[in-house]
Structure 1
Amino acid sequence: MFSLKGKSAIITGGGSGIGKAISVLFAAQGAHVHIVELNSESGEIVAGEIRSNGGQASVHSCDVSDQQKVVALFKGIEKIDILVNNAGIAHVGKADTTSAEDFERVYNVNVKGAYNCLFAAIPIMKSLGGGAIVNLASIAAIVGLSDRFAYSMSKGAIYAMTLSVAKDYLGHNIRCNSISPARVHTPFVDGFIAKNYPGKEDEMFDKLSKSQPIGRMAKPDEVASMALYLCSDEASFLTGCDYPVDGGFIKLNT
């Protein structure tokens, strides 16, 4: 089950964290994985790991916020069966403490970046007779989180775009779903805590872990497993839905 043999998959931000876990798992299931990374060095490390285990992986250095570069890259790949819009950045701030520059930076990567990839991939998927798209949203798209104004905006947009794309391309056999993780323990999270809460790293890690009713953060592999299912033929009846991988955060917090 859940074979991706013969399929070509683009994973943005596939060189670290959740994106790395998705890249490694999809390759293990038979896909030719195309890792799109601003930092190609991290992508090459993941690709090397994939190849050493007998998988297929290519690395492409690209800024997803640049539409012309994204379109040119995707045309060069030609065969796109799967798109995972994973690339994203975070930001701490409220509406009145978020600068215009920071707001635009988050928007350009998280929202415009996903749009650019959809804009480039969908015509190719249409020409091939279909495809599967997974967008990485967040619990921030569904519930209110403190000090996450710009980030929440961006993930709310991802959630809405998922529904729009799913509706518009029903007749083209293109499925589009989103995943909304709660906190996931990645090197990015460790760096994020160190940057924004210096001297309180252990305290903040414990606090963020316990904000999930299940009592811990998710592992990247757990999000990757959901992405694999949604992109596999076994999920052929699923489109236009969001899947919280959240340890009970949305429904069980009181």
Structure 2
Amino acid sequence: MQGRVAIVTGAASGIGRGIAEVLLREGCSVSVLDWNEEEGKRAVLEMTDDRDRIQFIQTDVSKESDIIRAVEQTAAKWGTVDILVNNVGTHFYRAVEQITADDWDRVMTTDLRGHFLTMQKVLPIMKKQGKGAIVNIASVHALQTVPHFAAYAAVKGGVVSMSRSIALEYASNGIRVNTVLPGMTRNSNIDKYLTSLDEKGREKAYRGMIRNIPVGRIAEPVEIGEAVAFLASDKAAFITGTTLAVDGGETSHLAWGQRE
């Protein structure tokens, strides 16, 4: 993947940062897109000393103008876009009857419309060069979910279906589109929650998190990044329109008798 150019959205922290770190390690130049300017600039400084292979572009994917600017800025700096990873997302945990129309629209705009628009703006570049790889980050909630996650489950299912359709549409142009479904993955919110507890509470909380994960732990962000890098690489040249769960076996697990 040496010399390839990647855009990663929501890359200032969590899974997005893990993806950016792996792509940088594999030789890519990376545009780090995120709405959080402070975190984004700090992440860029921490990920590599090679300023020629990384840049931060403050981007709100709910704004089409921001997406256009980010794609243009990436192509202007490195000449093209070879890889797009749509990772940015938001969610909330709320009973259906408590979800407002604005709540619903916010999730759909960020997690689905944002993915669509970013692909739409990158596809002409990839089409012109006759190749490209897009990896959309959805969630295991696209397959199996829990109560109070209706909006999140709906939008992640939408990402999977949209990705399949676009994969079919652009396969003849040498462009591959795949989806990764992360399971529970370490992030700043999980870390803050666990560190706020005493040792006994922390152990109990973590046991609850991993109860239905057969490998017995949550994922690290770079482990999602490894899966993304594979799908974006030539090693996956015959893979498009597929969905890869990176979840420690969680969605394969029939959790009989484990309800409390």
TM-score by length of 1: 0.91
Partner AA of 1:48 in structure 2: L
User: Structure 2: which 5+ residue stretches go unaligned?
Assistant: 256-260
Cα distance in 2, alignment partners of residues 142 and 52 from structure 1 = 39
The alignment partner of 1:132 has SS state of strand
Cα distance in 2, alignment partners of residues 22 and 210 from structure 1 = 26
Which of 3, 6, 10 is the aligned partner of 1:6?
3
Aligned length, in residue pairs = 247
Determine if the alignment matches structure 1 residue 43 to structure 2 residue 44: no
Question: CA offsets per residue over residues 176-215 of structure 1, 9 Å max, x none?
Answer: 00011111111133457899xxxx7764443122221222
Question: CA offsets per residue over residues 4-38 of structure 1, 9 Å max, x none?
Answer: 21110000011101111111111111111000110
| CA contact 2:212–2:253 (8 Å) conserved in 1 | no
| CA contact 2:180–2:245 (8 Å) conserved in 1 | yes
Aligned to 1:65: 62
Aligned to 1:84: 85
Aligned to 1:239: 240
The alignment partner of 2:107 has SS state of helix
Percent identity of equivalent pairs: 30
Change (3 A) 1:6 1:91: same
Partner AA of 2:135 in structure 1: V
Question: CA offsets per residue over residues 57-115 of structure 1, 9 Å max, x none?
Answer: 11000100111221232123221100000001121023222222211111111111111
Give the CA RMSD over aligned residues: 2.0
Change (3 A) 1:241 1:121: same
Structural mapping, 1:174-193, within 5 Å: 174-190=175-191
Cα distance in 2, alignment partners of residues 217 and 51 from structure 1 = 26
Aligned to 1:229: 230
Question: CA offsets per residue over residues 128-175 of structure 1, 9 Å max, x none?
Answer: 211000000111001132221111111111111110111100111000
User: Structure 1: which 5+ residue stretches go unaligned?
Assistant: none
Deviation (angstroms), 1:245: 0.6
Cα distance in 1, alignment partners of residues 129 and 187 from structure 2 = 35
Cα distance in 2, alignment partners of residues 100 and 204 from structure 1 = 32
Partner AA of 1:146 in structure 2: P
Cα distance in 1, alignment partners of residues 145 and 98 from structure 2 = 17
Cα distance in 1, alignment partners of residues 85 and 182 from structure 2 = 14
The alignment partner of 1:210 has SS state of coil
Structural mapping, 1:138-153, within 5 Å: 138-153=139-154
Cα distance in 2, alignment partners of residues 48 and 39 from structure 1 = 14
Deviation (angstroms), 1:54: 7.7
Q: Structure 1 residues 122-131 or 171-180, which shifts more?
A: 122-131
Cα distance in 1, alignment partners of residues 103 and 19 from structure 2 = 28
Structure exhibiting the larger radius of gyration computed from Cα positions? 2
Q: Structure 1 residues 209-218 or 240-249, which shifts more?
A: 209-218
Partner AA of 2:31 in structure 1: H
Structural mapping, 1:96-245, within 5 Å: 96-190=97-191, 203-245=204-246
TM-score by length of 2: 0.89
| CA contact 2:21–2:222 (8 Å) conserved in 1 | no
Segments of 4+ in structure 1 off by > 3 A? 188-195, 200-205
Aligned to 2:258: none
